[in-house]
Amino acid sequence: VVNLANRLCTRLEENADYQNGAEVVILGEPKRGAYPEESPLKPMAGELAQFGPLSYDPTFNAHGWYVLVWDELGVQLNECADETVRAISNSDAFKAMPNYPADGCIQTIDGVVTLKVADFPF
């Protein structure tokens, strides 16, 4: 997941709105998007590693990405409010977006740079 987070940040850094300080939200769980396979090492991992910080709830999912990116990569994203995360995850624009790594997986919705890893609800 850390390697994926690094690739996500690389893609974000190419976005002009991100470069100009816009708020950011990353939504989705990798195993629900383009990376559904799980490591054979999963059963040997601790509970947090097995289930991860990326909850099915949009606000917890977004916060999990913020924490993961900060703790593992030292990248501090400009976090948006929980209400904004919920509105974006329920929007038609978000639902129409393709999942990462497809072109169009990063779009600015209501002024927030949005990166879609997987669909909501799970």
CB atoms under 10 Å from CB of 30, counted, come to 20
Give the DSSP letter of residue 79: B
CA-to-CA distance for 52 and 39, rounded, in angstroms? Answer: 13
Looking at every residue in the chain, the average pLDDT score rounds to: 87
Span 23-67, pLDDT tens digits: 999 999 877 666 667 778 777 766 655 556 677 778 888 998 999
| Cα separation values, 72 from 20, 102, 104, Å | 23, 24, 26
Residue 36: predicted pLDDT: 64
Domain regions of the chain by residue span: 2-116
Residue 112: predicted pLDDT: 98
- Global confidence as pTM: 0.84
